[in-house]
Copies of this chain bind each other. A is one copy, B any other.
Amino acid sequence: MIVVFEAHATEEQIRNVQGRVEALGLRVQRSDGVEQTVLGVIGDRKRLGDIRQFALLPGVRDVIPVSSPYKLASREFHPEDTVVQVGAAAIGGPEVILVAGPCSIESKAQIESTAQAVADAGARLLRGGAYKPRTSPYSFQGLGEPGLELMRRAADRHGLGMVTEVMTIEQISIVAPYADMLQVGARNMQNYPLLVELGRSGKPVLLKRGMSATIEEWLMSAEYILSGGNSQVVLCERGIRTFETATRNTLDLSAAPVVKHLSHLPIVVDPSHGVGDRRYVAAMARAAVAAGADGVMIEVHPDPDHALSDGPQSLTFDEFAALANRCRIIATTLGRRIAKGA
């Protein structure tokens, strides 16, 4: 922690702060600058507690934390890229992974035909929800476990890994036997008891960014999972909330290079939720690959106009195949690749 004093702080005010810090068993180094005095605090950060309290002492202008709030998620303490293996997909390696499938699992025919189509187009992972977080209590809430069974069979038949969401601690034990990767939705990014359990689950986790989460908070949420002993965490950018209303969210693609800089964890981008409009999904998927994402996750449906959820942002099979082709070429220009399908 650094304590910055006001220009006219008195010697007594400075000594008061210094005394409090030293009383906690920490050491202080003082700099008397041209404009103000600054104290640097040396020692175990945990002893300080909530440092905002020092900002309230007389004569203090500001206090500034200097240690990183997350460690296990930080590239500083883990310089090599993490690669998370999910089925046949190595997320975070040279291959850019396509994840695709419907918003909700609706029927055997729907998930089966979708699995085939996305596998044919080069996807490695099948996405789809059996438990759905819906804004309205009156909307379709998902098929539950029967949906998981349908999805598992469809994934197996087409050699795909299976990614699906868990919304509660209890769902982990239901979902884990079926899925290859457990997804944490944006609304649960700071559901800490859920994160703690996922840290113990031993399954790869796809952690979506909260709607108004900073990148730092997102990495703190990853830290919860990592600190439980589970190092298989993949981050997923899905748009943040801003004042703009032309798109459902504002897809923050700069998260890709920023996360790559700050962390060793892989990052995948979900343009379907990011823009919420089928017409803009392909452009943003291409942009995500160009920005350096390790994967893109796309909502695909055999008949988007009749989907039970998120139809307007879902692509048809043909649209997805076209998108995959374009992304494949862009990946190549960056020295990466995307799997060729059938």
Q: Which A residues contact B (CB, under 8 angstroms)?
A: 2, 4, 6-8, 29, 31-36, 38, 40, 42-46, 49-50, 52-53, 55-56, 61-62, 64, 66-70, 76-77, 133-138, 167-170, 187-188, 190-194, 196, 211-212, 214-217, 220, 223-224, 227-228, 240-247, 250-254, 256-258, 261-262, 274-280, 283-284, 286-292, 304-313, 326, 329-330, 333-334
Instruction: Using known A-B contacts A50-B311, A287-B290, A312-B50, determine if residue A247 contacts B253 with beta carbons closer than 8 Å.
Output: no
Are A242 and B242 in touch, CB under 8 angstroms?
Answer: yes
Residue of B nearest to A133 (CB): B192
Quick one: which of B7, B223, B243, B261 contacts A214, CB cutoff 8 A? B243
Instruction: Using known A-B contacts A38-B2, A49-B308, A187-B190, determine if residue A77 contacts B256 with beta carbons closer than 8 Å.
Output: no
Instruction: Using known A-B contacts A45-B35, A280-B257, determine if residue A246 contacts B214 with beta carbons closer than 8 Å.
Output: yes
Are A250 and B245 in touch, CB under 8 angstroms?
Answer: no
Can you name 15 A-B residue pairings with CB atoms under 8 Å? Answer: A2-B2, A2-B38, A49-B311, A53-B304, A69-B135, A69-B136, A168-B168, A169-B170, A212-B241, A254-B284, A257-B275, A261-B279, A287-B287, A287-B288, A290-B290
Residue of B nearest to A292 (CB): B283
Are A276 and B212 in touch, CB under 8 angstroms?
Answer: no
How many Å from the CB of A176 to the closest CB on chain B?
17
State in angstroms the CA–CA spacing of A168 and B70 once bound together: 24
Are A56 and B277 in touch, CB under 8 angstroms?
Answer: yes
How many Å from the CB of A48 to the closest CB on chain B?
11
Are A245 and B214 in touch, CB under 8 angstroms?
Answer: yes
Are B246 and A305 in touch, CB under 8 angstroms?
Answer: no
How many Å from the CB of A333 to the closest CB on chain B?
4
